Chain A
Amino acid sequence: MQAVTTHAMALSRRHFLKTGAMGGMLLVTGSAAALLTGCAQAQPATGYVYLREAELTVLRAVIPSVLAGTLPEGKARPAALDKALASLDQLLANSSVAVGDQIHQLFALLSMAPTRIAMAGVWSDWPDASPEDIEAFLLRWRDSRLELLRGAYLGLCKIINVAWYLLPESYAAVGYSAPVRTI
């Protein structure tokens, strides 16, 4: 386990160093977050291959904002959210050790209260964050002058958007009809 964490830190260090002094500060908090959360919750959540329990907590809060306007609401939402999470889990489980480490590290930053507050500007725990809080967090990252935060915004939105639109459940809303094999 230690090897994996160290590896993730080495990767992030290489990346963070490029982002200058501000990045250097984030490196310290980021690595601490990776260390603190990395080992304790290194196991995938029950029923998942890649995603960990703390990551599911972040995603259950963030996904409805990223997929606003398309994720079903009301009674249908929990099942749709589970589908999105399962699709995302598969996407990341089948990527690579390097990609997987980078994404775990992003979630480590979002999971820890100090880094969540400092970097995402979200004061409450994820389950208590309002849609407005989460939208503000996404815009803060998108419009940041820090390469690191813009990259995190793009990465987070990309994996959630792709995971959802890989699902046949998403096709009707986009008017897509895939050819089908009849054998």
Chain B
Amino acid sequence: MTIQVGAIPDPIRAGIAGGWKVIHTGELTQNTTVECDVVIVGTGAGGGTAAEILTQAGLKVVMLEEGPLRSSDDFKMREDEAFRDLYQEGAARTTGDGSMTILQGRAVGGSTTVNWTSSFRTPPQTLKHWRDVHGVKGISDAEMAPWFDRAEKRQQIGPWPVPPNENNDIIRQGCEKLGWSWQSIPRNVSGCWNLGMCGVGCPTNAKQSMLVTTIPAALNAGATLYHRARVRELIMDGDKVRGVLVDGMPEVGLQPTGKILMVRARHVVLAGGAINTPAILLRSKVPNPHDQIGLRTMIHPVNASFAQFDRKVEGWGGAPQSVYSDHFQWKDGATGPMGFKIEVIPMQPGFVAGLLGNHGLDHARDMQSLGHLNGMIALLRDGFTEDSLGGRTSIRKDGSAVLDYDVSSSLADGLRRSFLAMAEIQLAAGARSVRPFQLAGGSFTTLAAAKSAINGFTIEKFRTGIGSAHLMGGCAMGEDAKTSVVNSRGEFHGLANLSVLDGSIFPTSIGANPQLSIYGLVAKLATGLAERLLPTGAPKPEALTRVG
């Protein structure tokens, strides 16, 4: 049976028809200069949240987005179009050596346009670690709680009352058999149809992404949005930043049009996300006396275990992520052997086809039984132990961003333990066989066989399948400029009017899907920034009095 999605009002098209200031930078016919109070680079979880707050505070805001503007009328639930339009590097981004797949959004709304809606507050253990080890101020549980409350209200985050699809329910079934803990995943949706197409752009506007919440709010309040706007570099002037230099990009294609947009601003907010934000700083040759920019880029390294079931799984339909297990997340504390979260992935064919790590008849057999396949993943919590320093973001000769990430011994150990845990859950839930994503690693019908094989795996690059959809860090927060890039207010050390407000300021990974961590922290920091940017003695706008 084919599910049909008919006409749904498209709030972006309606807004543009109603006079929003939305400009395709690739269609500029001449070099152009604009002025504003604040220019925000990036429109994802960080940039979108900041744009709404700064605009509603009365500041003149320009939003820049490298990706295209796509909205519900464009979301045809086709993977090929989504890969091309909505993901960094056409969903082909990898670490520098090609060993790890990186899924990161690149469209108006950033990764929130394509994420799977899982919404967790920053775990208290993570916030405590940032205070204790990285010296971040102002992030006690009590100080953060109102900002998470606010973000949950804004993005309509709450429990998901619909039963999970079978792909997710396998986590519950397996964990219950084993006596392991599991929970339901809160989601940022309103009126969700349970289609399962979150990763290719929500066709019903149920997902409360930046695209349908904060960005429309900012545009309604007078902000300007430039899309297909690739930031080349900051315009530097001594210890000040004067704005940004932007290359117009064609609707489709990799080469700039040649027309330049110059945005002059009192304050610059970088919110391009991990990898892209540190790359802009490096391209701009900002002061970097302690060589910290790009260090500690965290990815929640992910490995996968596929399992065949006799019953139907059909993991392409229904909320992609609705059940998780943190049974192994904190059991050895924040700094013990690397913890991990267990979730599943949506099972659309193009996506899964790239994750099986085989070819020919083996691959064809796996794909032909896709409807009976469970795809489980473990997200390793990197950045907490002394040997887990994450990766390093740098720029190539042509200025493009590249992340190099190595497998530390604590990560290798965590990957092995998570392979074992996933196989155990899948077999306990009744899997006929399990196949860890390990090159020529084999498939197993008993736990004893799986354990024996996994314990013998050589965990290494280009043998163990590793990927990431959670890019964090590279501009770590902290009060000591020797070990961080921005302070606890998100201000760049050493430049007066430059802030970073996105997931790149996290000093470690989160230990949970990061969108709500970004919403909460950026809302707090952007509100502080708005207060500092408003004239002294000016009445505090209503938008800034809602929290705190």
Contact = CB atoms under 8 A, between A and B. Distances in A.
Interface of A: 7, 10-11, 14-15, 18, 65-70, 87, 90-100, 102, 135, 138, 142-143, 147, 150-151, 153-155, 157-162, 164-167, 170-171, 173-183
26 contacts: A66-B363, A68-B364, A69-B364, A87-B80, A91-B80, A94-B254, A95-B92, A96-B89, A96-B400, A97-B400, A98-B89, A99-B92, A100-B254, A135-B360, A138-B360, A150-B463, A165-B367, A166-B80, A166-B83, A166-B350, A167-B80, A175-B368, A177-B3, A178-B348, A179-B197, A182-B6
Contact of A165 (B97, B350, B397, B398): B350
Contact of A90 (B75, B80, B357, B371): B80
A100 B252 CA distance: 15
A99 B401 CA distance: 12
A174 B370 contact: yes
A171 B79 CA distance: 12
A45 to B, nearest CB: 18
B242 to A, nearest CB: 28
Contacts of A66: 359-360, 363
A179 B77 contact: yes
B462 A182 contact: no
A175 B371 contact: yes
B439 A154 contact: yes
Contacts of A142: 359, 439-440
Contacts of A65: 359-360
A135 B358 CA distance: 12
A94 B251 CA distance: 11
A91 B349 contact: no
B90 A150 contact: no
Given A97-B398, A157-B358, A174 B78 contact: no
Contact of A179 (B4, B92, B360, B439): B4
A39 B195 CA distance: 47
Contacts of A67: 360, 363-364
Given A68-B364, A70-B364, A176-B316, A154 B1 contact: no
B5 A174 contact: no
B368 A70 contact: yes
B7 interface: yes
Contact of B356 (A138, A143, A161): A161
Query: How many of chain B's residues touch chain A, expressed as a range?
Result: 35 or more
A157 B359 contact: yes
A156 B356 CA distance: 13
B97 A151 contact: yes
Contacts of A70: 363-364, 367-368
Contact of B349 (A93, A102, A153, A174): A174
B93 A94 contact: no
Given A18-B97, A151-B97, A174-B368, A183 B6 contact: yes
A18 to B, nearest CB: 7
Contacts of A161: 353-354, 356, 359, 363
Closest 7 CB pairs of A and B: A69-B364, A165-B353, A95-B92, A179-B3, A94-B90, A96-B89, A150-B462
B159 interface: no
Contacts of A135: 360
Nearest to B406: A18
A131 B93 CA distance: 31
A87 B81 CA distance: 11
Interface string B241-259: 0000000000010100000
B84 interface: yes
B440 A14 contact: no
Contacts of A167: 80
B540 interface: no
Nearest to B465: A154
Nearest to A144: B462
Interface in B254-296: 254
A147 B462 contact: yes
B428 to A, nearest CB: 26
Contacts of B400: 96-98
Contacts of B368: 69-70, 173-175
Interface in B90-126: 90, 92-94, 96-99
B73 interface: yes
Given A99-B93, A162-B354, A174-B367, A180 B2 contact: yes
Which of A90, A167, A174: most chain B Cβ within 10 A?
A174
B24 interface: no
Contacts of B93: 95-96, 99
B365 interface: yes
Which of B3, B76, B352, B462: most chain A Cβ within 10 A?
B462
B92 A151 contact: no
A4 to B, nearest CB: 10
B339 interface: no
A98 B403 CA distance: 12
Contacts of B98: 15, 102, 151, 155
B14 interface: no
Interface string B1-38: 11111110000000000000000000000000000000
B538 interface: no
Contacts of A155: 98
Given A69-B361, A178-B2, 7 more contacts: A66-B360, A87-B80, A135-B360, A154-B357, A155-B98, A178-B77, A178-B348
A99 B352 CA distance: 20
B396 interface: yes
Contacts of A150: 439, 462-463
A115 to B, nearest CB: 18
B327 interface: no
B89 A95 contact: yes
A94 B88 CA distance: 10
Nearest to A165: B353
B70 to A, nearest CB: 13
A129 to B, nearest CB: 15
Interface in B450-485: 460-463
Nearest to A171: B349
Contacts of A182: 4-7
Contacts of A100: 254
A96 B106 CA distance: 12
B210 interface: no
A164 to B, nearest CB: 7
B301 interface: no
Contact of B402 (A98, A160, A173, A177): A98
A62 to B, nearest CB: 9
Contacts of B358: 157
